[in-house]
Structure formats: structure tokens, C-alpha cells
Amino acid sequence: MSESEKMMPRRRFVKNAAYASAVVSAIPSFLSSCKTPKEPKKEEVELLPIDNKKREFPKGKLNIAVIGLGMGYGNFRNCGDENLVAMCDVDTQRLREKLTQFHKKDFPDKPIPYAYQNFKKMFDEIGDQIDAVIIATPDHSHAYVTHYAMQQGKHVYTQKPLTHNVYESRFLTEAAKKYPDLVTQMGNQGASAGTTAWACEAIWDGAIGDVKEVHAWTNRPIWPQALNRPEDKPPVPPGLDWDMWLGPAPNRPYNPIYHPWNWRGWWAFGTGALGDMACHILDVVARALKLEYPYGVIASSSRWTLESPAESETITYFFPERPPLKKIKLPKVKLTWYDGGIKPPRPEEMLDDEPMGDGGGGVLFVGTKGKLVTGTYAKNPLLIPSSKYKGYKPPMTERRVPGGAGGHEKDWIAQCKAAPDKREETKSNFKFAGPFNEVVVMGTVAARLKDLKRILKWDGPNMKFTNIKSDEFLKVPKSVKFDTSQSIPRYVTEWVKVNALEYADHMVKRNPRKGWELVL
């Protein structure tokens, strides 16, 4: 017992113990609420049955299917000027709900799309009626489903992050080279934003000088993280193909904490806050500074487990010098990512009423002549000190996407419909998105290697760390539990010892379940 504990008056001790007891008693109900997020009450609507009788669709339009009806349905709806021919989801309850929403609310005058639970069956039965596919499954199956669609000769729009791990990103980059007539796009709509183009052009014009330091942040996660694998094994809900939902991930029992939303907070299926938002927020950074592979990375975080990312973290990437561009040099740059409520210090030059980013996050470029701040998706770029840049407008030389961020899907459609020799590159085609996503998800690996306590040297072309020894071991947290059995409640961590290099290699390239292998 410490001196301060010995000296604590009994009344205060009893008061504090009661407070701790109240907090502890609240934890189970809090965790229970995390498992099954409350949904707003839905109007009782009779759901449409699944009926795949032969449909006819108008000629002269792109025939689009969607696989994964979470974010995917929004992307699908944004393509409403074309033929929306098929909807696929492993959860038939959600499938029927979205089918009903499509017919009774969003597109009552369009033919009802075909409906499938199995994407392979969809391609087998109506593949000849599909030109392009939106893929919005959980992160862990992006690569396999995207590649499968490409093998069928379909243009692809894949939600961010492009893939779950580094190897899968490289694989899709190579797949895009193998199928050069297919139009590809990652679903980070800020890539098409006019404000992204503005920020890039201002930096290239030398407005803030040469950039050697960047900070980026997000308000995510907005789902639970730092979790232990659930021990209960509830039955699989009717209509959910759990084996198909697992896809390439290792087999495990169904639990409602995974599907349909919280999978983002589990390493087996998601990529945490970094994977969820960095493809949006760091896009303007990679684009403006022509970043390729970093040569090093180091991370710091709050509690995490082998199962689930930390609630907050910082990831610092170190990039080498690049060739000069327009009016600027591209020296070595240090890029620091923050999530879980952590932000970089606010620049002193900013006025009190000037926003530093927005509610979702932001970016701060630090140049030799000034600074540039943007919000999420590069919204509302602001040069600071603002008094120095009044009236400044950069020259605009880059291709602009009609509709900006809101035109991200439509630009993909336009290039799909154009003759191959007339196409423009989409803003987040896999030639750009693949290497960019490698950098993002490599950061999720660094976060789990943080206790090596050094800058990890990264060989980007060969996808490996070069300063982890083959006989080096690392303790990692298997679980973290709140123990109330002692007089002072505390978190107790169960550690396991792993070979650090083997662990790193496994995270860079995970072996999929049988039948889900990636073969180019």
C-alpha cells in the first residue's frame, strides 16, 4: 500500500469504494449496449419476396450490381441514372429490407433488381446482364470479392479501405494491370472533391513552401474497440449465411457484436479507425505530396487486444525525399496520424473563430512558408495565417470531377461507359489506391508491434520489416479484463509470447480459409 493510501481517511475510502462499485456495476450494461446498437424504430412495411424471374432493363445504360448492402446501398443509389440490376447480401433480412426500400421509396419506377445471397450464384445466373459491380462487404472480404468480379470481366467500385492487409492491396494492384480494360475505383469520395484538387494545387504552387511535416486525425472509432473475443455462442439469425460472411477469415462462432456494424472493431474483419478513415483523410496528403512507400513507422496506443484495435492511437510514418514537383521540393516528410479523440496542437497562427478541421477529423500541412488545414475529405481548405493569404487562388490544372465528391460514383460510371481509348483515369483507380492502401493498412500492423519500441524499417517493394530479428519475441495482450475481485479494481492483462517477425509477416499477408485463396 502506498503512503497516500495509508493516509486516506476512512470516510473518503468508503466514498471512493462506493463510487468504484457503481462504475463497475455499470460496465456490464454498457458492454451489453455496445453489442447490439439501438436502431430507430422502423415503420412496419411488408417486405418484398425474393423473386429472380427474368428482367428486362433499358438499353444504353450501364448495368450495375452491388454486393454488400451496408454502405453499398448508398453507393448503389448514387448510380440511379443507370440500370440497377442486382442486389446481393449474405443477410436476407437486410436484403429484403433494401429491396423494399428500393421499390417503395427510392426507385418505384425502376425494375426491381434481382436479389441474391451468394455473389457467385449471382454471377453464374445473371452475369451476362451485369457490366459493373459495387463491392461493399466488410473489409476482410474486399479483395476476394473484387477480384472475383474482375475475373468475370466486370468494372469494379470497391469501398474503402481497398483491402484488409498489405498483400491484398498489392494483389489488386496487379489484378488491375492484368485486366487493363476494366475501370476501377476505391470508394473514398474525397479523392474526387474539388477541395482536394484546390489543396493539391495550392501546395504545388508553393503557397506554403516545402512540406516536411503533416498531421491528420479522425473522431473514429465510433464503435467499441479494445475488446475480448465473446465467450457466448448465440444462434445464427435466420437468413444469415454466416459461413459466407466469414469469407476468408478464420472460422469462429457467430456473435451479434460482429454483424452488421461492429466488425470494424475486430482485427479478423476490420482495420479499426485507421483503416476506416485514413483512406478518406490521408488521400489529399498522398496526392499532394506524391507519397509512395514510407521507410519507417512507429506507433503508440492505449489498451488493445489480439482481437481488437486500441481505442486511441498515433501512427507516425517517415517518407523519403521525392523529386521536385512544379514550384516545390518534396523533402523527407513525417506524417502523424491520430485517432480516438487525440489531435495535434492547434497552430498559434489560427484565429479563435477559424476551425481546425471538422467534426470528423482533418489534416494540417506544415510548410516552410505557412500552413494548410483541411477538414475530412479535404473539405474547407484554409491557408494560415489567413491574413497572409487573403484573395489567394491557386492555378487549377488537374482534371476536375463533375459534382466533386458527390460525383465519385458517376465519374466511375462515365469511364466505364467510355470507349477504352477515350477514358480518363478515375481519381482513385487501383494504380493509385492499391499502393496508397498498402501504406494505410501497414500502419495497422505497426500499431500491434508498438512494444518493439523503435522505428520499424519498412521495405515497401518487398512488403516486409527489415529490423525485426528472426529470433525476436514480443509479448502481446490476448485479453484485457476489469478485475473487481481485489480491494482496488483494476484492468488485468493476459499476455502471450509470439515470434515478432512471424507475427508481423502474418499481419502483412494473412493466410485465408480454404476456398478463399487469391490466385492471379
Please report whether residue 516 resides in a domain.
Answer: no
Residue listed under C-alpha cell 475501370 = 183
Q: Are residues 182 and 208 in the same domain?
A: no
Indicate whether 110 belongs to any domain.
yes
Place of cell 507475427: 503
pLDDT value, residue 44 = 57
CATH number at 309 reads 3.30.360
Q: Give the distance from CA 32 to its chain's centroid.
A: 25
Handedness of CA 256, 257, 258, 263 (dihedral sign): positive
- pLDDT tens digits for 468-520? 999 999 999 999 999 999 899 999 999 999 999 999 999 999 999 999 999 99
Q: Look at residues 142, 131, 151 and name the one whose alpha carbon lies nearest to residue 64.
A: 131
- Residue 331: asked if its preceding bond is cis (omega within 30°), the reply is no
Instruction: Express each pLDDT in 172-182 by its tens digit.
Output: 999 999 999 99
pLDDT in tens, 150-170: 999 999 999 999 999 999 999
Residue 231 maps to a domain: yes
Give pLDDT, residue 50: 81
Q: What proportion of the chain, given as a percentage, has pLDDT over 70? A: 91
| Residues 486, 346 within the same domain | no
Domains in the chain, number? 4
Q: Are residues 97 and 10 in the same domain?
A: no
Quote the pLDDT of residue 45. Answer: 60
Q: What is the pTM of this model?
A: 0.90
Q: How does pLDDT run across 183-234, given as a tens digit for each residue?
A: 999 999 999 999 999 999 999 999 999 999 999 999 999 999 999 999 999 9
* CA-to-CA dists, residue 18 to 11, 25, 26, 31, 351, angstroms: 11, 10, 12, 21, 45
Claim to verify: residue 249 and residue 393 sit in the same structural domain? yes
172 in the same domain as 155: yes
Domain that holds residue 10: 3-35
H or E segment to which residue 318 belongs: strand 313-319
Do 272 and 183 lie in a common domain? no
Tens of pLDDT along 435-451? 999 999 999 999 999 99
R_g (Cα) of the chain, nearest Å: 24
Kindly report, residue by residue over 413-429, the tens digit of the pLDDT.
Answer: 999 999 999 999 999 99
Average pLDDT on 306-329 reads: 98
Kindly state whether residues 306 and 440 are assigned to the same domain: no
CB 212 within 8 A of CB 333: yes
Please give the average per-residue pLDDT across 32-39, as a whole number.
43
Cis peptide leading into residue 420 (ω within 30°)? no
Q: Average pLDDT for residues 404-414, to the nearest whole number?
A: 97
184 and 265 belong to one structural domain: no
Residue 314 dihedral angles phi and psi, to the nearest 5°:
-125, 140
Q: Is residue 497 part of a domain?
A: yes
Q: Are residues 149 and 71 in the same domain?
A: yes
Residue 11 has pLDDT above 70, yes or no: no
Query: In terms of domains, do 186 and 276 share one?
Result: no
Whether residue 155 is found in the same domain as residue 208: no
* Position 48 confidence tier, pLDDT thresholds 50, 70, 90: confident
Which whole number is the average pLDDT over 274-286? 98
Question: Tens of pLDDT along 91-143?
Answer: 999 999 999 999 999 999 999 999 999 999 999 999 999 999 999 999 999 99
Whether the Cβ atoms of residue 155 and residue 184 lie closer than 8 Å to each other: yes
What are the CA-CA distances from residue 470 to residues 5, 298, 431, 467, 498 (Å)? 45, 19, 33, 9, 11
Residue 33 has pLDDT above 70, yes or no: no
| Claim to verify: residue 179 and residue 90 sit in the same structural domain | yes
List strands edge to edge, sheet with 371-375: 382-384, 371-375, 361-367, 211-218, 333-339, 313-319, 296-301, 456-459, 464-465
